[in-house]
Chains A and B, each alone.
Chain A
Amino acid sequence: MSTYRIQGATGDWEVVIGLEVHAQVTSNSKLFSGSATAFGAEPNSQVSLIDAAMPGMLPVLNGECIRQAVRTGMAIDAQINKWSRFDRKNYFYADLPQGYQISQLYHPIVGEGSLTIEADEKAGIPEAKVIGVERIHVEQDAGKLMHDQHPTMSYVDLNRSGVALMEIVSRPDMNSPAEAGAYLSKLRTILRYVGSCDGNMDQGSMRADVNVSVRRPGDELGTRTETKNVNSVRFVMQAIEHEANRQVDVIEGGGKIVQETRLFDPNTGSTRSMRSKEDAHDYRYFPDPDLLPLVLEDAFLEDCRASLPELPDAKRARYEGELGLSAYNAAVLTADVDTFRWFEALLAETALAQGKKPAEVAKQAANWLISELFGALNKLGKSLDESPVSHEQAAELLGLVGKGTISGSIAKQVLETMLETGEGATAIVEREGLKQESDTGAIEAKVDEILAANGDKVEQYRGGKVALFGFFVGQTMKAMQGKANPGVINEILKSKLG
Chain B
Amino acid sequence: MPNSSNSITDLGVAAIRDGVAAGQFSAVEVAEAFNANVAAAQSALNAFIVATPEKAIEAAKAVDAARSAGQALGPMAGVPIGMKDLFATEGVQTTAASHMLEGFVPRYESTVSRKLWEAGAGMLGKLNLDQFAMGSSNESSYFGNVISPWQRPGSNAQLTPGGSSGGSSAAIAARLAPAATGTDTGGSIRQPAAYTGTVGIKPTYGRCSRWGVVAYASSLDQAGSMARDVTDCAIMLEAMAGFDPKDSTSLDLAVPAWTGSLSGDLRGKRVGIPREYRVDGMPAEVDAIWEQGIAWAKDAGAEVVEVSLPHTRYALAAYYIIAPAEASSNLARYDGVRYGLRDLPDGAGLQNMYAATRAAGFGDEVKRRILIGTYVLSAGFYDAYYTQAQKVRTLISQDFAKAFEQVDVLLTPTAPSAAFALGENVDDPLSMYLNDVFTVPASLAGLPAMSVPAGLDAQGLPLGLQIIGRPLDEQGVLNAGLAIEARAGFTAKPEKWW
Choose the segment among A50-58, A221-229, A324-332, A391-399 that binds chain B (4+ C-beta atoms closer than 8 Å).
Answer: A50-58
With contact pairs A49-B108, A53-B338, A99-B335 given, residues A292 and B249 touching in the complex (Cβ less than 8 Å) = yes
- List the B residue with the shortest CB-CB distance to A61: B248
- List the A residue with the shortest CB-CB distance to B108: A49
* Distance in Å: Cβ of A91 to nearest Cβ of chain B: 9
Chain A CB within 8 A of B374 CB: yes
**Secondary structure of the B contact surface, majority rule:** loop
A100 to B332, CA, bound (A): 7
Residues of A within 8 A of B382 (CB): 284-286
Interface residues of B in 320-344 (CB under 8 A from A): 325-326, 328-329, 331-333, 335, 337-339
Residues of A within 8 A of B175 (CB): none
Query: Are A282 and B378 closer than 8 Å at their CB atoms?
Result: yes
Residues of A within 8 A of B247 (CB): 58, 60
Query: Are B329 and A100 closer than 8 Å at their CB atoms?
Result: yes
* Distance in Å: Cβ of B212 to nearest Cβ of chain A: 4
Chain B CB within 8 A of A94 CB: yes
Query: Are B106 and A290 closer than 8 Å at their CB atoms?
Result: no
With contact pairs A54-B108, A284-B377 given, residues A156 and B210 touching in the complex (Cβ less than 8 Å) = no
User: Please, what's the 1-or-0 string for A137-159, where 1 marks a CB less than 8 Å from any CB in chain B?
Assistant: 00000000000000000101000
Residues of A within 8 A of B87 (CB): 56
With contact pairs A55-B88, A92-B354, A292-B249 given, residues A286 and B386 touching in the complex (Cβ less than 8 Å) = yes
Query: Are B101 and A55 closer than 8 Å at their CB atoms?
Result: yes
Chain A CB within 8 A of B47 CB: no
Query: Are A286 and B377 closer than 8 Å at their CB atoms?
Result: yes
Q: Which of B213, B332, B339 contacts A98 (CB 8 A)?
A: B332
With contact pairs A55-B106, A282-B379, A284-B378 given, residues A99 and B351 touching in the complex (Cβ less than 8 Å) = no
Residues of A within 8 A of B213 (CB): 56
Query: Are A92 and B246 closer than 8 Å at their CB atoms?
Result: no
Chain A CB within 8 A of B94 CB: yes
Residues of A within 8 A of B378 (CB): 282, 284
Query: Are A98 and B333 closer than 8 Å at their CB atoms?
Result: yes
Chain B CB within 8 A of A291 CB: yes
A94 to B350, CA, bound (A): 8
Chain A CB within 8 A of B63 CB: no
Chain A CB within 8 A of B420 CB: no
Choose the segment among B191-199, B214-222, B283-291 that binds chain A (4+ C-beta atoms closer than 8 Å).
Answer: B214-222
A337 to B374, CA, bound (A): 47
Q: Which of A49, A56, A100, A282 contacts B214 (CB 8 A)?
A: A56
A54 to B333, CA, bound (A): 8
A97 to B210, CA, bound (A): 19
A292 to B249, CA, bound (A): 7
Name the residue in A56, A154, A282 with the highest tally of chain B Cβ atoms < 10 Å from its Cβ: A56
- List the A residue with the shortest CB-CB distance to B350: A94
Q: Which of A57, A286, A291 contacts B211 (CB 8 A)?
A: A57
- List the A residue with the shortest CB-CB distance to B111: A56
Name the residue in B88, B108, B333 with the highest tally of chain A Cβ atoms < 10 Å from its Cβ: B333
Chain A CB within 8 A of B76 CB: no
With contact pairs A52-B338, A100-B329, A282-B379 given, residues A289 and B214 touching in the complex (Cβ less than 8 Å) = no
Query: Are A56 and B110 closer than 8 Å at their CB atoms?
Result: yes
| A-B interface pairs (CB < 8 A), number | 100
Residues of A within 8 A of B329 (CB): 88, 90, 99-100, 284, 286
Residues of A within 8 A of B351 (CB): 92, 277
Query: Are B337 and A292 closer than 8 Å at their CB atoms?
Result: no
Chain B CB within 8 A of A59 CB: yes
* Distance in Å: Cβ of B251 to nearest Cβ of chain A: 11
Q: How many positions in chain B have a CB within 8 Å of any CB in the partner chain?
A: 44
A93 to B328, CA, bound (A): 16
Chain A CB within 8 A of B104 CB: yes
Residues of B within 8 A of A53 (CB): 333, 338
- List the A residue with the shortest CB-CB distance to B219: A289
* Distance in Å: Cβ of B179 to nearest Cβ of chain A: 21
* Distance in Å: Cβ of A93 to nearest Cβ of chain B: 8
Q: Which of A58, A98, A286 contacts B210 (CB 8 A)?
A: A58
A189 to B328, CA, bound (A): 42
Interface residues of B in 79-116 (CB under 8 A from A): 87-88, 94, 96, 101, 104, 106-108, 110
Interface residues of A in 250-293 (CB under 8 A from B): 277, 281-282, 284-286, 289-292
A286 to B247, CA, bound (A): 19
Chain A CB within 8 A of B2 CB: no
Chain A CB within 8 A of B256 CB: no
With contact pairs A55-B214, A99-B329 given, residues A60 and B377 touching in the complex (Cβ less than 8 Å) = no
User: Please, what's the 1-or-0 string for B397-414, where 1 marks a CB less than 8 Å from any CB in chain A?
Assistant: 000000000000000000
User: Please, what's the 1-or-0 string for B451-484, where 1 marks a CB less than 8 Å from any CB in chain A?
Assistant: 0000000000000000000000000000000000
A273 to B212, CA, bound (A): 42
Query: Are A90 and B337 closer than 8 Å at their CB atoms?
Result: no
With contact pairs A97-B338, A286-B325, A286-B382 given, residues A56 and B211 touching in the complex (Cβ less than 8 Å) = yes
With contact pairs A55-B96, A58-B247, A286-B386 given, residues A90 and B332 touching in the complex (Cβ less than 8 Å) = yes
With contact pairs A49-B108, A97-B333, A99-B335 given, residues A58 and B248 touching in the complex (Cβ less than 8 Å) = yes
User: Please, what's the 1-or-0 string for A76-112, where 1 marks a CB less than 8 Å from any CB in chain B?
Assistant: 0000000000001010111001111000000000000
Interface residues of A in 270-323 (CB under 8 A from B): 277, 281-282, 284-286, 289-292
With contact pairs A88-B329, A284-B374 given, residues A56 and B379 touching in the complex (Cβ less than 8 Å) = no
Query: Are B212 and A56 closer than 8 Å at their CB atoms?
Result: yes
Q: Which of A57, A88, A284, A290 contacts B249 (CB 8 A)?
A: A290
18 additional A-B residue pairs with CB within 8 Å, beyond A53-B338, A97-B338: A53-B333, A54-B338, A54-B339, A56-B210, A57-B212, A60-B246, A90-B329, A90-B332, A90-B377, A93-B350, A97-B337, A100-B332, A282-B378, A284-B378, A284-B379, A286-B329, A290-B215, A292-B249
Cβ-closest 3 pairs across A and B: A99-B332, A284-B377, A289-B218
Q: 24 interchain pairs (CB within 8 A)? A: A49-B108, A53-B333, A55-B333, A56-B212, A56-B213, A58-B247, A59-B248, A60-B246, A60-B248, A92-B332, A92-B335, A97-B333, A99-B331, A154-B350, A156-B337, A281-B379, A282-B379, A284-B328, A284-B374, A284-B379, A286-B382, A290-B215, A291-B249, A292-B249
